[in-house]
Amino acid sequence: MPTTDTHFEHSELLYSLISRQSLLTINRIQYVAYAAALACKNEDVLQRIKQQVGDINELRLQDIKHAVMRMAMTNSYYMAINTLNLSNVKRTNALELTPLHDLDVEDETAYYYACIAACMVNQGYSCLHGHVELLRDLNESDEAIDAALRLTASIIAMAQANYINQKG
């Protein structure tokens, strides 16, 4: 039975989602798309993202990578902590991460968009909720946040299709 190549279909979906929305700047689209692709750990998808949303400078890529790596740690830790009944456990900054204001992040709002993309890929929903609230505090609309979530979902589907197609 032949495998259906859905790469094109998902690339078209991503293109359609990007072109139909007007709420996210190209910078924020890039932060979301690169973060989702990096969190999916899929080189083919990362290359498709580069083709669709363009290359980014090294400083922005560093910010995105930092967000993805930080979410890999915090999402898994807080998912575990939220399911266990551990007494007297520090919940706020339990991992003692450097505060964001001490990091040299180029665009704080775009950084939080990268965080929500990574959280969605990692299924770190308690962290996702926290980052959505931070975006709202920065006056980002629910519609813009939803656009970022839809972009992320399309990239997750692209990574899944890539995996299925590789398995034949």
Residue 56 has which token pair? 């980014």
Average pLDDT, the chain: 86
Evaluate whether 84 touches 5 at the Cβ level (below 8 Å).
Answer: no
**Structure letter (DSSP) for residue 23:** S
Percent of the chain with pLDDT strictly greater than 70: 83
Chain-centre distance for alpha carbon 157: 13
Three-state SS for 152? helix
- Domains of the chain listed by start with CATH number: 7-85+96-167 (1.20.1290.10)
Evaluate whether 93 touches 106 at the Cβ level (below 8 Å).
Answer: no
Predicted pLDDT of residue 78: 82
Chain-centre distance for alpha carbon 32: 5
The Cα–Cα gap between 163 and 165 comes to: 5
Predicted pLDDT of residue 151: 94
Which is more confidently placed, 38 or 21? 38
- Tens of pLDDT along 91-143? 666 677 777 778 889 899 999 999 999 999 999 998 999 999 999 999 999 99
Q: Is the pTM here over 0.75, yes or no?
A: yes
